[in-house]
Amino acid sequence: MTDAGQDSPRRAREPIALLGGTFDPVHYGHLRLADDVRNALGFREVRLVPSATPPHRAPAQASGDDRVAMLDLAVRDFPGLVVDTREIARGGRSYTVDTLERLRAEVGGRPLALLLGADAFRGLPSWHRFRELFDLAHLIVVPRPGLVLEDALPPELAAQWRARRVTSPEALRAAPAGSIYVQPVTPNPISSTQIRNAVTSGEAKSIAALVPPQVLAYIESHRLYSQPTGTDTHRTHAS
């Protein structure tokens, strides 16, 4: 990584934003979310960070190499999105807190910002060392269709929400970590589960608008998701 402390002061305050996930496979929901947040907040880049073994959900169906290959193909059309393979390279369980700790050691006091869909945000209290996440990064929460963000948050998360919620994005540059900011984006009701299921049932054509064409071509040529595995669930990604 090259963006440590020797950069200009302005650059040094620009948050490094991360979107973690299984990306099994990546789809336009992920890509537009990351791109919209990047544009709305004026970030130079957003890193997509595929997990190796997600701790609290079924393992990915596609291999890490295939998921990275699809991400690499997908970000070609999205300048400003980059693929960060550190969790795949590390292997084992991918705890976001470990990833953020390592990144923090690399970037010094530069702000870090973790992008989370509202579904992932709600599941946060089950993440490994969840309170420490706020010491390491800001959270940027993106509403997902069908979920009212503030309704029935788990109590320990509601407390964090009350203490840390900011309404000005300047807070994301003013400190290295610790705020929760909500960034609405145009909803894209797409899930990887839906894509895997369509491919498994021989209906890959029906998802042509949901993933970049080069990703669909990769899925077909590598025969990904052609077998049902019984691992498809809508469980929340919790790392």
Residue from 47, 110, 138, 144 in contact with ligand ATP (CB under 6 A): 144
Distance, CA of 169 to chain centre? 19
Residue from 21, 64, 169, 178 in contact with ligand ATP (CB under 6 A): 21
Shorter beta-carbon distance to ligand ATP: residue 12 or 182: 182
Query: Could you tell me the two tokens for 68?
Result: 């990275």
Window of 35-43, 114-122, 133-141, 154-162 that interacts with ligand ATP by CB under 6 A:
114-122
Are 52 and 96 in contact by the 8 Å Cβ rule? The answer is no
Residue from 119, 157, 182, 197 in contact with ligand ATP (CB under 6 A): 119
- Based on the shown chain and the rule CB under 6 A, indicate whether residue 120 belongs to the binding site for ligand ATP: yes
| Interactions with Mg ion, residue window 179-238 (CB under 5 A) | 237
Q: What is the dihedral of CA 140, 190, 216, 86, to 10 degrees?
A: 30
DSSP 208: T
- Supply the DSSP string of 33-51, one letter for each residue: HHHHHHHHHT-S-EEEEE-
| Residue 70 binding target from Mg ion, ligand ATP, none, CB below 5 to 8 Å by type | none
Question: In angstroms, what is the minimal distance from the CB of 108 to Mg ion?
Answer: 32
Beta-carbon neighbour count of residue 37 at 10 Å?
Answer: 21
Residue from 53, 183, 191, 200 in contact with ligand ATP (CB under 6 A): 191
Are 116 and 155 in contact by the 8 Å Cβ rule? The answer is no
Round to whole Å and give the CA distance between 200 and 70: 18
| Residue 112 binding target from ligand ATP, Mg ion, none, CB below 5 to 8 Å by type | none
Shorter beta-carbon distance to Mg ion: residue 196 or 237: 237
- Supply the DSSP string of 119-143, one letter for each residue: HHHHTGGGSTTHHHHHHH-EEEEE-
Residue from 183, 188, 197, 200 in contact with ligand ATP (CB under 6 A): 188
Question: What residues make contact with ligand ATP under the rule CB under 6 A?
Answer: 19, 21-24, 29-30, 33, 116-117, 119-120, 142, 144, 188, 190-193, 237
